[in-house]
Structure 1
Amino acid sequence: MSSHSTAMDKPKIGITIGDINGIGPEVIIKALNDNRILNYMTPVIYGSTKAISYYRKAFDLNDFNYTHYRDNKFTYSKVNIVNCWDEMIEINAGSVTPEVGAASFKALQKAVEHLKEGLIDAVVTAPINKNNIQSEEFKFAGHTEYFTENFDGKDSLMFLTSEDIKVGVVTGHIPLKDVSKNVTKELIIKKLKIMEESLRVDFGISKPRIAVLGLNPHAGEEGLLGSEDGNVIKPAIDEVKNKGKLVFGPYPADGFFGKGEYKKFDAVLAMYHDQGLIPFKTLAFNNGVNFTAGLSIIRTSPDHGTAYDIAGKNVANESSMREAIFMAYDIFKNRSEQKKES
């Protein structure tokens, strides 16, 4: 996109501050510290000017400038901050407090409200603590489930993406002992549909090639090591393949990554959380992005957590946050192009 377009045309990318005792504020400030980002978008931070200025000062990042969001007006050539709570909340990097959990939820709520009103074009979520955020209003395993419930509510796909590898999971935040009964033919087909469509619409890949991993060691070894691969996964793949989609598998997960097979595909569908996330984070740790595919809105996040152990030390790496912000921008552009063409 040329930076000559008018400021009003630039997408407004919301960024929720996450847990202010974690590394969220630090990676947000560092990712937005390069003013060139304003040539492409108007970043809108949902959180608190106090928290941002606290970390800006603590880390001596005085070049980082922002403006208050007031009177329902965004300032297009600057980073905007929407204050989402009024009370004084003590910042104590690395500690887990209920007040900070409640604050991270307020930031999330405000961003969702603005998304629903069409005031922002996409949202990037900094990490929350999945325990201290729980309340009467937030009873979710994480961001993915919360956004799915708030937008369309049907189904979504936890899609981890980077330049080199994209991995989706059939089952997300559930205990391992519940995985096999949740892996159904219907669910695999649903996730494959979301993944295939997202690769086309959000990532601009016209005929995506998708690999599907088996559930059991050696993809069940012809039923010797479990029947799901032959009875559930294979029929799901065949059904999607018969509709003309390029879907292959099931592949034994270990050799698939070990031999670099993933490089021959545009994306990989794993059966459960760690099966997909361990290879993904090993291969793409600093620049991976978690994208919630299948929703009407665009939501990305860095692929790391609150990292309390390094919070407040000015050593957090902002690459994943920067990638998440630019991916939200790219997906917005791709979807806008698609709309024009249709």
Structure 2
Amino acid sequence: MRWSRITDPALPPLAISLGDPAGVGPELICESWARREAEGLPPFFVCGGKDVLSAAARARGLAIDFAEIFDPCEAGSAGREALPVLGDGDASYTPGNPSSLGARLAFNSLQAGTGFAVSGAASGIVTGPIAKAALAEVGFDFPGQTEFVADACGVPAEDAVMLLAGPSLRTVPLTVHCALADVPGLLTQGLIVRRCRVVAEAMRTDYGIAQPRIAIAGLNPHAGEAGRMGREEIEIIAPAIAQLRADGIDATGPHPADTLFAPRARATYDVAIAMYHDQALVPLKALDFDQGVNVTLGLPIVRTSPDHGTAFDIAGKGLADPGAMIAAIRMAGEIAARRTIAQ
């Protein structure tokens, strides 16, 4: 897979939420802005945290300027010479040491950026990595940012589908943040069909794939081996695939997961559907860790995020790779441009 670098200069800028200010998010945002021209990134602005960003840039050895803006439309002109920051929310920069004040800033930044995307003042939102436990202490009562953004859009959480996308692989986990022991009970034919329909539509509108090929993994080793290692493939997954094919969706499987992500297999599909979190994320992170993007499908707005966490252990040390943040910003701009073209 190649990044197409589709852009539309007439689109509003992207909003970037800061993420936890004690994590690597702020420094990677600064690094992304410093590389914006070389990477061909669309215009963007950050929601709050000007002092945090400035300190993070210094810690990383970046000599960049910051521009205070008061409206997203100012980001284009201001962003030519300085990183635009909208909003006066701030906190102390304490890399590796999260605080309640920092969590509050992260929450406020997420709320502001989502609001700009929902209103159309921003062409989408790129969310910085958060610490869920710290956010929960300041009133964030969602499992993650995906559910928060979906709720802000009025979309049921079950219709907000997590796609992990990198240069080598696109994959969707049907179940996400739950115990592995709970996965078999959560899988239903209806869940598979509903989410695969969202995926198929997103492949067409957001990725420009007219006839997307969807490969669906089995749950059990060897895809159950005809029922010898479990019956979920026979009773749940195969009937869902039959229904999808009857709907005109090019779905195949259930495929054994241990071969589905091999190079020759990846050439046969556009997106792989996994049954649980690690079945999807292990191959994505093995192949594309430094360029992996978390995309939320099924929303009326564009939302992406780098597919890594806060990395408190290396925050402020100049060690974090900016590749995933750069890829998340680029992909958000590409999706926004494609949706505009499709209208």
TM-score by length of 1: 0.92
Counterpart residue number, 1:120: 122
Deviations 1:240-259 (A, max 9, x none): 00122110000110122246
Deviations 1:196-223 (A, max 9, x none): 1111100000111110000111111111
Counterpart residue number, 1:160: 164
Counterpart residue number, 2:60: 59
Q: Give 1:45-84 correspondences, 5 Å limit.
A: 45-62=46-63, 64-70=64-70, 74-77=74-77, 78=79, 79-84=83-88
Following TM superposition, by how much is the alpha carbon of 1:90 offset from its aligned partner in structure 2, in angstroms? 2.5
Following TM superposition, by how much is the alpha carbon of 1:10 offset from its aligned partner in structure 2, in angstroms? 3.9
Distance in 1, matches of 2:169 and 2:252, equals 16
Counterpart residue number, 1:319: 323
Q: Give 1:261-272 correspondences, 5 Å limit.
A: 261-272=265-276
**Structure 1 residues 179 and 39, CA gap change in structure 2 (3 angstroms):** closer
Residue pair 1:165, 1:263 contacting (<8 A) in 2 also: no
Distance in 1, matches of 2:160 and 2:311, equals 26
Note the residue ranges of structure 2 that are not aligned, 5 or more in a row.
none
Following TM superposition, by how much is the alpha carbon of 1:260 offset from its aligned partner in structure 2, in angstroms? 3.9
Residue pair 1:10, 1:41 contacting (<8 A) in 2 also: no
Distance in 2, matches of 1:207 and 1:188, equals 19
Counterpart residue number, 1:225: 229
Counterpart residue number, 2:133: 131
| Identical pairs, percent | 34
Counterpart residue number, 2:13: 12
* DSSP 3-state at the match of 2:313: helix
Distance in 2, matches of 1:188 and 1:219, equals 16
Structure 1 stretches of at least 4 aligned residues deviating more than 4 Å after TM superposition: 37-40
1:30 partner amino acid = E
Residue pair 1:11, 1:329 contacting (<8 A) in 2 also: no
Distance in 1, matches of 2:153 and 2:54, equals 32
Residue pair 1:84, 1:107 contacting (<8 A) in 2 also: no
**Structure 1 residues 2 and 243, CA gap change in structure 2 (3 angstroms):** closer
Following TM superposition, by how much is the alpha carbon of 1:117 offset from its aligned partner in structure 2, in angstroms? 2.1
1:287 to 291, 296, 299: 291
Residue pair 1:22, 1:308 contacting (<8 A) in 2 also: yes
**Structure 1 residues 74 and 168, CA gap change in structure 2 (3 angstroms):** same
**Structure 1 residues 60 and 136, CA gap change in structure 2 (3 angstroms):** closer
1:110 partner amino acid = A
Counterpart residue number, 1:169: 173
Distance in 1, matches of 2:73 and 2:205, equals 31
**Structure 1 residues 35 and 327, CA gap change in structure 2 (3 angstroms):** closer
Q: Give 1:113-262 correspondences, 5 Å limit.
A: 113-135=115-137, 137-154=139-156, 155-258=159-262, 260-262=264-266
Question: Is 1:95 aligned with 2:97?
Answer: yes
Following TM superposition, by how much is the alpha carbon of 1:58 offset from its aligned partner in structure 2, in angstroms? 2.2
Deviations 1:37-66 (A, max 9, x none): 79763211013110111112222211x233
Counterpart residue number, 1:111: 113
Please give the root-mean-square deviation of Cα atoms over the aligned residues, in Å. 2.0
Distance in 2, matches of 1:39 and 1:230, equals 47
* DSSP 3-state at the match of 1:223: coil
Deviations 1:98-117 (A, max 9, x none): 22112110110111221222
Residue pair 2:162, 2:296 contacting (<8 A) in 1 also: yes
Distance in 2, matches of 1:161 and 1:38, equals 18
* DSSP 3-state at the match of 1:57: helix
Aligned residues: 333
Residue pair 2:189, 2:240 contacting (<8 A) in 1 also: yes
* DSSP 3-state at the match of 1:206: coil
**Structure 1 residues 265 and 34, CA gap change in structure 2 (3 angstroms):** same
Distance in 2, matches of 1:74 and 1:275, equals 43
2:166 partner amino acid = S
Following TM superposition, by how much is the alpha carbon of 1:307 offset from its aligned partner in structure 2, in angstroms? 0.7
* DSSP 3-state at the match of 2:291: coil
